[in-house]
Structures are given as C-alpha cells and as structure tokens.
Amino acid sequence: MRRLGIAVPGSLAILLIAGLATGAGATPLLSSPLLWATVDQCTSAASGDVVGLRASMPGTGRRDERMYMRLRLQYRAPSGVWRYVKGADSGLIDAGSARYVSRQAGRDFHLAAGSASGTVLRGKVVFDWRVGASTIHHAQRLTTADREVGAGASPPGYSAARCTLS
C-alpha cells in the first residue's frame, strides 16, 4: 500500500504519534495541523468546469483504526447562505489505516461548462476515524488556502479556500 501522507519532520511525527496513540484524546487529533481541506483545482474550460478538493487527516498510530473522508462542494447562494452543489459529493472515501502520520485524498468535481460561472464555491469535508462500524473521532473542515497538497493539484501546488469559475 502506498503512503499518501505529507512530509512531517521526524520529531514532530514521533510526538504526534506518541500523543495520539497513548490516549491523549481527540483534542490533539482534532486540532492537528495535519487536519485540513483545500481547493486544489479551479478550472474553466469550454468542455466543462472542474473544481478539485483535497483533504488531509492525521493518523492516530493505531492499526485497528481506519480513516474516512467525505468531500462535498458548496456554492454561495445570492442570499449569502452556503448550499451543497447537487451531485458534487464524493461519498465516503476510505483514506486508509490510521497507523500513518497522515493521509490525503481528493476528488475532482466536473460541472457543465458555464453552469457555475461567477459563482463562489468551496469545499466541506467530514472526517471519521473508525474501528469497524464505530466512529471513534469525528471532525469537519471547510477549505482553506496555503496547504501542502501531496498530489493532484492543477497547477501543481495550487491551494485555495474558494473557487470562482469564469
């Protein structure tokens, strides 16, 4: 299995794993800098628009736990309220074993050309750490900018909080 995590300095990785694996609780896990979501693609083209979302979640160091993400695209309605884009839902993604320091996963959402022109979009990601069918930890994050995207960004390294398609 390929590790999809971001590079973390060795001493920080050891502290994170030690703190999480020894029952330090959800607080360090849920406040971890390795827990984030970002827009990693915002492309308008005649053939269709693409908005990519990518997320990272820290592992707990426990082999018996698995990490899951659900990435959803939202748009800002004229009223200012954020609503979900119909059909722009990744469903539950198995991000892998929680034994790793962190894991990343992402999805590209393809929209009809011009259908979201001028609309402000963002992502909302739900994170679950599970043992079997039981959720041990749960978190949600909105997309933010300036994240270290492991793969899939277009252009490479692209990270934004929001996307406005032209």
Identify the residue with better confidence: 41 or 165.
Answer: 41
- The mean per-residue pLDDT over the stretch 7-13 comes to 40
8 Å CB contact between 55 and 69: yes
What pLDDT does 28 receive?
Answer: 83
Q: What does the alpha-carbon distance between residue 30 and residue 51 come to, in Å, rounded to a whole number?
A: 26
Provide the CATH number for the domain formed by 10-164 in this structure: 2.60.40.2990
Angstrom CA distances, 96 to 4, 23, 82, 136, 165, stand at 9, 20, 30, 15, 32
Render pLDDT for 130-152 as a digit per residue (tens, 0 to 9): 999 999 999 999 999 999 898 88
- The rounded mean pLDDT for the chain is 85
Render pLDDT for 64-77 as a digit per residue (tens, 0 to 9): 999 999 999 999 99
Where do the structural domains in the chain lie, given as residue ranges?
A: 10-164
What pLDDT does 25 receive?
Answer: 57
Render pLDDT for 36-64 as a digit per residue (tens, 0 to 9): 999 999 998 877 899 999 999 999 999 99
- Is residue 11 scored above 50 in pLDDT? no
**159, two tokens:** 């990270």
- pTM over 0.85? The answer is no
- Is residue 92 scored above 80 in pLDDT? yes
